[in-house]
Amino acid sequence: MLPFMKMHGLGNDFVVVDARAKNIVITPALAKGIAHRQFGVGFDQLAVIESARIGASADAHLIFYNADGSTSAACGNATRCIARHLMNETGKSALHLTTDRGDLYAQDAGDGLTSVNMGQPQLAWDEIPLAEEMDTLELPIEGAPTATGMGNPHCTFFVENADLIPLADFGPRYEYHPLYPQRTNVQVAHVVAPDHIRMRVWERGVGVTLASGSSSCATAVAAARKGLTGRRVRIDLDGGTLWIDWREDGVWMTGPTMHVANGTLTRQFLESLDR
């Protein structure tokens, strides 16, 4: 039997497994089974909390899985949710977390909000990565989207009205674009004001989601690079609002979190999966 927590950030929902006390192995088949919204629990991403790696001074190490069983080096909203959980657990107001993306720092932002520094964006073609060398500000794709890495790849389209884009058809068309050898998250966005963006997201390995933290960071960075906004913006997503601030020390993301429930995966369910 496997305990878990259900959390979400603006409807971007997660199953969180705490593996600090015992060794828990998450396989792609197990992740896919838990992700199924009819036969499992359902999530956009699964996150595993591990003890800090040997030699690291961090509070915890985080690992992320997409709903299709693939892994992701970063998940901004899940990091905020887990940071809030660990702050409540420890009484700390600031945390040092590690991920495959690198070191991330979280803070209590007051009023129930949690901030995470997602690190500096990756702007070079081979860091994102893209399949070949090119200008990442305007890709040779219809609509001239911008490529950004936030520990995972992003492709941001600025359009007249993001709400009018049929995202369920638009997103998969570019997730598997040959310029992105590791596939990509896809955002459609329009600028409301110099400090305000409306954005919708198709997540790699997941599909349409109500929100995405790393996508919000990538969109804010892309808008600032193109001169459409400043470096501090409000981003309205289908599930609510995040505040992004691209500072000298990285891209800070601030927003609310929700710990919905605790549960336990039964032995019957676990044994039913082809692990």
Overall number of domains in the chain: 2
Domain hosting 62: range is 2-108+258-272
Q: Is residue 9 domain-shared with residue 104, that is, in the same domain?
A: yes
| Residues 139-177: tens digit of each pLDDT | 999 999 999 999 899 999 999 999 999 999 999 999 999
240/264 same-domain check: no
Q: Is pLDDT of 34 > 70?
A: yes
Query: pLDDT over 90 for what percent of the chain?
Result: 91
Q: Is residue 192 included in any domain, yes or no?
A: yes
Task: For the full predicted model, state whether its pTM sits above 0.75.
Answer: yes
Q: CA quadruple 162, 211, 101, 121: dihedral positive or negative?
A: positive
**180 plus 223 within the same structural domain:** yes
Model confidence pLDDT, tens digit, residues 225-242 = 999 999 999 999 999 999
Question: What does the DSSP assignment read for 177-223?
Answer: -TT-TT--EEEEEEEEETTEEEEEEEETTTEEES--HHHHHHHHHHH
Same domain flag for 27 and 101: yes
Residues 231 and 265 in one domain: no
- 173 with 193, same domain: the answer is yes
Mean pLDDT for the chain? Answer: 95
Specify the DSSP element, H or E, that contains 158: strand 153-158
User: Looking at the structure, do residues 207 and 150 belong to the same domain, yes or no?
Assistant: yes
Whether residue 220 sits in one domain with residue 158: yes
Statement to judge: residues 93 and 18 lie in one domain: yes
Collapsing DSSP states into helix, strand and coil, what is residue 92? coil
**Residues 240, 264 share a domain:** no
Give the CATH number of the domain where residue 179 resides. 3.10.310.10
Residue 274's pLDDT is 67
